[in-house]
Structure 1
Amino acid sequence: MSSCDLCVVRNRAICAALHPVELEALNTIGRTRRLEAGESLMWEGEDSVLVANVIDGVLKLSTNTEDGREQIVGVVYPSDFIGRPFGGTTGHGVTALTDATVCVFARRDFDAFARQHPALEHRLLERTLGELDRTRRWMLLLGRKSASEKLASFLLEMVERLGPKGCAAHAGPGGSGPLVDLPFSRQQIADVLGLTIETVSRQFTRLKNEGIIDLPSRREVRVVDLDALTAEAG
């Protein structure tokens, strides 16, 4: 069987729109690449030469400010598509937050394949519009919400994106809510949300003290009361 036959995100990635024969053709131009946490796949400002499907792991999209600071502008999860098809330069760097596996295509080969397969182009358009919606929600999150609302919204997204489909969340002991392994440090969460690490730590402690979440470890969050967390997110 081809790697497409064995792909765990096949039914959720952009290639889900393709028939078996088309998948076989796509498989001939792609290759699987494994990334270690901290390893970069794409660099901001460089020519767009690669595109990829995320198979496993979590990666960050980041840009550098004029004073040299890194700003995380997005996060991608299993089944997400990364890169810029049809030319141009890469608008942000792409770096693995966790050990990750991606299916990589040379951008020109992928462009040619997409032009020959309208279903794939349509799926790309759907993904682009979905990403635009998420960006608008993120602008609201960063610009209007309080610190508590920001962290609650962030945790809800982790539950949604790293839930059973992402194979990174599971029920806690006794069937208590989903247990999520966060791919972020406290400092990275603060950077993503535009907060200080002290504020993030205080909000985690408050949510735990109020019985909304539990914190088995620094990188694990168990959602005890999903309705309360949703209300907290505003």
Structure 2
Amino acid sequence: MGRLALVSVRRVVPRHEAVWRAGDGSGSVASLLSGVVSLSRSLPDGRQQIVALQFPTSVIGSLAGGRELETVAQETTRICSVPRGHFENILSRNPELEREVIRQIGAQLDEARNWLVAIGRKSAAERVATYLHMLVTNHRSPQRDAGPVEILLPLSRGATADFLGLTIETVSRKMTELKRSGIVDFDDATRMHVLSTDRLRAATGDEPVLDQPGSLRN
């Protein structure tokens, strides 16, 4: 790890600034130390489609398959980047670090597969709940109804709608339903208070639950 520190560069990337433009990340790999970054792909008509969000401890860059993706900080973000050649050389000499990197990338692939299921099979209400619950679980270790937790929403309503494959109106309506059900509360469009992590998790549709007052189905 000492050799890794010698060749690494730490950067602070302000919100909405690019960590890498599409194609720029092919020569380096980075670990996300804090903050949230979005990975997006350019569509033929010029639009940008967010395909994933990455959180602290994630590996981003060429080893994570990010060469053709735009990587943008969605809040003030700190990264530690290393030239790819140096990184591969250090991994070859440090099996423990190599196993940890493989574990991290495997976890990111699992998250990507789960997100495909969420977009392809879940209802609008479940997609919104899944997105919010993802923010909670990456904010702190999952706990059983550990009390209210405050979360900064990294995406605008428009970007959230694109990410979830919904309209802005649908996202706003489903968030309002979650608020009326006493599951979350919002100070404004950028700050959320989760009042019950258990009920938010149940609203994702990932766990079978009995019908209860205020449950969200559609």
TM-score band by shorter chain is 0.7 to 0.9
CA-CA distance at 1:59 after TM superposition: 0.7
CA-CA distance at 1:132 after TM superposition: 1.6
Return closer, same or farther for 1:176/1:81 CA change in 2, 3 Å cut-off: same
CA-CA distance at 1:228 after TM superposition: 2.0
Aligned to 1:221, what secondary structure does the other structure show?
Answer: strand
1:73 alignment partner AA: V
Tell me the distance in 2 between the aligned counterparts of 1:225 and 1:95.
30
Instruction: Output aligned runs, 1:1-234, within 5 Å.
Output: 23-46=1-24, 48-85=26-63, 90-163=67-140, 176-234=147-205
Aligned to 2:216: none
TM-score, normalising length: structure 2: 0.86
2:113 alignment partner AA: R
User: Is 1:163–1:178's contact at 8 Å kept on the other side of the alignment?
Assistant: no
Unaligned runs of 5+ in 2: 206-218
User: Is 1:85–1:110's contact at 8 Å kept on the other side of the alignment?
Assistant: no
Unaligned runs of 5+ in 1: 1-22, 166-170
- The structure 1 segments of at least 4 consecutive aligned residues displaced by more than 4 Å after TM superposition are none
User: Is 1:58–1:75's contact at 8 Å kept on the other side of the alignment?
Assistant: yes
CA-CA distance at 1:164 after TM superposition: 6.4
Tell me the distance in 1 between the aligned counterparts of 2:178 and 2:66.
41
CA-CA distance at 1:227 after TM superposition: 2.4
Summarize deviations over 1:160-201 as a string: whole Å, max 9, x none: 101369xxxxx9xxx951111111111111111111111111
CA-CA distance at 1:225 after TM superposition: 2.4
Tell me the distance in 2 between the aligned counterparts of 1:43 and 1:67.
18
Tell me the distance in 1 between the aligned counterparts of 2:99 and 2:201.
33
Which sits farther off after the overlay, 25-34 or 44-53?
Answer: 44-53
2:153 alignment partner AA: L
Tell me the distance in 2 between the aligned counterparts of 1:128 and 1:137.
14
Aligned residue pair count: 203
CA-CA distance at 1:215 after TM superposition: 1.0
Return closer, same or farther for 1:211/1:47 CA change in 2, 3 Å cut-off: closer
Return closer, same or farther for 1:112/1:27 CA change in 2, 3 Å cut-off: same
CA-CA distance at 1:149 after TM superposition: 0.2
User: Is 2:39–2:50's contact at 8 Å kept on the other side of the alignment?
Assistant: yes
Which sits farther off after the overlay, 200-209 or 41-50?
Answer: 41-50
CA-CA distance at 1:129 after TM superposition: 1.5
Tell me the distance in 2 between the aligned counterparts of 1:38 and 1:215.
22
Return closer, same or farther for 1:39/1:71 CA change in 2, 3 Å cut-off: same
1:206 alignment partner AA: E
